[in-house]
Amino acid sequence: MNKSRSPRLPGMAPAIAPSAVVRAIHLLAAGATLALGASTAWSQTADGSNSLPPITVTGTEQGYAAKRSTTATKTDTPLRDTPQSISVVTSDELRDRAVQSIAEAARYVPGVGFAQGEGNRETPIFRGISTTGDFFIDGIRDDVQYYRDLYNIERVEVFKGPNAMIFGRGATGGLINRVSKQPEWTPSYGASVTLGSHSNRRLTADINQPINDQLSFRLNGLYENSKSYRDGVWLERSGINPTLSWRPSAKTLVTLGYEHFKDKRIADRGITSFRGVPVVTDPSTFFGNAAGSPTWSSLDAFNALVEHEFDNGVVLRNRTRWSEQDKFYRNVFPGAVNALGTTVAISAYDNATTRKSFFNQTDVSFTLNTGAVKHKFLVGAEIGKQDTDNFRNTGYFNNTATSVNVPLWLPATYAPVFYRQSATDANNSGTAKVAALYVQDQIELSPQFQLIAGLRYDRFRVDFQNNRNGDRFKTNDDLVSPRLGVIYKPVEPLSLYANYSIAYQPRAGDQLSSLTLSSSALKPERFKNYEIGAKWDVLPALAATAALYRLDRSNVVVLDPTDPTGARTILSDGQRTQGFELGLSGNITPAWSVSGGYSYTDAKFKADTSATIRAGARVGQVPKHTFALWNRYDFTPMWGAGAGVIHQAKMFASSEQIVTNAAPFPNVVLPGYTRVDAAVFFTLNRNVQMQLNVENLFNRKYFLNANSNTNITPGAPRSFRVSLNAKF
């Protein structure tokens, strides 16, 4: 480990070292060569086609209907024959709702919420499990913390429940996979311009140009410079993603891509609370200092895909991803309100992180018939390495105090803040390495019965060093993650399924920052999921889904409630989430498209977690009931309209505290709300379309999410976006 590396400080321009670029190119070339070279070692008699099927991860789409996915099982499989909950936000839906972020994309997906993420990263909550790391792109890990844009994305897939057999460590309550736009052999040229409320200004471009029968090139680009309904908050982001595909034969495809993405914004921690509810203030009010809360992230990523089909139907696929992220954020943010409700405490800190990641996956799939039983086998391996450096400073107001009190009615401070390390601030370096093997068999016993059985073994190693005092932790985890799914199809359009799976979350990164961890507490968290459900193609392009599940989380590190010093940790049974989800997506008629669903989520702690968070307490930011449904209806070939409704029940801003003393307001509740969105679509011709999107049509006041009891994000007031979309 190179201990001399340090995160880049503010004011230093992000850059890519030439040597890093050369290494990345060498890694991509090596991965491609390895995949092609290894292919000669595989030979298996199977029933297969004579040419490589269309090499795509997007599946079959028609409007809001998605029929297949190659991500859920790493084979081309109908969603109806995949025994777990999967929601797909198609390219048409992303465009119709004028989606600009992952959180917006998942807004109408049942069972998924988003926490505030301290204003600098996406933090989805899947079935009561919060995460900042369960993101993938084209099925390979995208384990960095930032706000992902969708300018180069074809569709968004949301998987719910543990998915470790396919995706490895993490993937516990669920995950989000972005499917990127790939070069095609039909030329197309597109662009989109969006203008909206709060100076929303955004431009994207998509150029696809075949070079010849063997080569095709695609370029996606983005620039956005927007403000916010929140005082002093703004963002500026840009991205460029060139991709080249080479098809030397009908059975071989090689795709190489590079992305450079930059995101600058103000870290917004929202407002505070008083006496169990968010304080009464205008949604625009910024608590702390907006100008003193900058955050930026720079990402460079190289991707390679090599895919080849042999004459006997065996398909070999190799994917490689190398990325480097440089990130910095600073917060001047609110704390608690005093007992009289007159002042609020303001604190500050900053954090810098660099992360280099390399992942390589090799999959071999083939079919085999044994009598009347059909098998679709998958055998794969993955290797990966991540190097992370993290450095944090505490802010001292006027170079003396770590917090200041300001009037609640004027909650801004412009006092000078000096940043330096306190006794507990992080200064650490870590290296995580993974090597995995997995095997899966999709078995068709008869036209009515199917099984999916899979097993994955991960060897996960973390080498973590506290640079402040030289303390070092090393962990070696052997993770075995099974999945078993049963599918029964009484009639062809209907699948009834049952699924059992286990996933693990090893201790890594921030989880190893505490010096009080014992060897027993280094055991990975364990997630066990039971799920039964149904998937019904009500119409050829309309799918209805239902799922009933129970998700148990164990081996959770918590403070020992019997330890008066508050320093000793123990392992707890963690939490249990039980719930029910209904989903509907697709096209009711050629003119009417829908997407959305309902979820009931009961997430509670199974054991005492601290002196106040006891067994039976509810998990924070998990409403019991949510309902969301988006519709688009085209009245004529030229005119259409969209309408969406979102209802969310009340929820705790943080995990519920069960207190036996006289504390009057231990919990903060975010009220439930109902919000309506709308849109109007005008199609000038087959190449040009305009649309108007209105968020929060009736200007309802509500609270979107939180990071704690004192960091709560007010929902946006009525907002407009006007977009011009062109494609030729």
| Residue 4 belongs to some domain of the structure | no
CB 529 within 8 A of CB 498: no
CA distance to 108, 186, 191, 192, per residue, from 207 (Å): 29, 11, 8, 12
Beta strands in 271-422 (DSSP E): 273-274, 277-278, 294-309, 315-337, 343-370, 373-397, 403-407, 417-420
| Residue 130 belongs to some domain of the structure | yes
Query: Of 196, 205, 310, 184, whose CA–CA distance to 247 is shortest?
Result: 184
CB 192 within 8 A of CB 727: no
State residue 62's pLDDT score: 78
- 183/206 Cα distance (integer angstroms): 10
| Residue 208 belongs to some domain of the structure | yes
State residue 45's pLDDT score: 33
Work out whether the CA dihedral 271, 273, 274, 277 comes out positive or negative.
positive
Q: Which domain holds residue 651?
A: 18-344+354-416+427-727
Query: What backbone phi and psi angles, to 5 degrees, belong to 614?
Result: -110, 170
Neighbour tally for 680: CB within 10 Å: 14
State residue 565's pLDDT score: 47
- 327/329 Cα distance (integer angstroms): 7
Query: What backbone phi and psi angles, to 5 degrees, belong to 510?
Result: -60, -25
CB 462 within 8 A of CB 472: no
CB 181 within 8 A of CB 152: yes
- 491/67 Cα distance (integer angstroms): 17
CB 122 within 8 A of CB 111: no
What's the gap between Cα 592 and its chain centre? 29
Residue 724, classified by CB atoms within 10 Å of its CB into exposed (0-12), middle (13-18) or buried (19+), is: middle
| Residue 3 belongs to some domain of the structure | no
Beta strands in 53-187 (DSSP E): 61-62, 65-66, 68-69, 77-78, 85-89, 112-115, 123-126, 129-130, 135-137, 140-141, 153-160, 174-180
Q: Indicate the SS3 state at residue 152.
A: coil
Residues 6+ away with beta carbon under 8 Å from 663: none
HSE of 255 in the Cβ direction (CA atoms, 13 Å)?
A: 25
State residue 556's pLDDT score: 75
- 544/538 Cα distance (integer angstroms): 7
State residue 234's pLDDT score: 97
Please give the structure tokens belonging to residue 71: 């991500």
Please give the structure tokens belonging to residue 630: 């988006």
| Residue 589 belongs to some domain of the structure | yes
- 532/537 Cα distance (integer angstroms): 17
State residue 136's pLDDT score: 96
State residue 666's pLDDT score: 86
Structural element, H or E, at residue 144: none
State residue 3's pLDDT score: 38
For the chain, residues with pLDDT lower than 70 are: 1-61, 508-522, 557-572, 660-663
Please give the structure tokens belonging to residue 575: 């939490």
CB 582 within 8 A of CB 545: yes
| Residue 8 belongs to some domain of the structure | no
Query: Of 414, 408, 104, 125, whose CA–CA distance to 278 is shortest?
Result: 408
State residue 13's pLDDT score: 36
- 595/644 Cα distance (integer angstroms): 9
Amino acid residing at 187 = P
- 425/299 Cα distance (integer angstroms): 25
| Residue 11 belongs to some domain of the structure | no
Neighbour tally for 590: CB within 10 Å: 10
Which residue matches tokens 């929820």? 651
Which residue matches tokens 């640079």? 467
Q: Indicate the SS3 state at residue 118.
A: helix
Write the CATH number for 526.
2.40.170.20
State residue 557's pLDDT score: 66
- Report the number of secondary-structure helices (H) and strands (E) in the chain: 4, 44
Query: Of 698, 637, 630, 469, whose CA–CA distance to 105 is shortest?
Result: 630
Residues 6+ away with beta carbon under 8 Å from 526: 502, 503, 504, 553, 554, 555
- 110/595 Cα distance (integer angstroms): 10
Query: What's the pLDDT tens digit per position in 190-219?
Result: 999 999 999 999 999 999 999 999 999 999
| Residue 142 belongs to some domain of the structure | yes
Please give the structure tokens belonging to residue 497: 């399924």
- 337-375 residues labelled b (16+ CB within 10 A) or e (exposed): beeeeebbbbbbbbbbbbbbbbbbbbbbbbbeeeeeebe
Average pLDDT score, the chain? 88
Q: What is the pTM of this model?
A: 0.89
Number of domains in the chain: 1
Residue 642, classified by CB atoms within 10 Å of its CB into exposed (0-12), middle (13-18) or buried (19+), is: buried
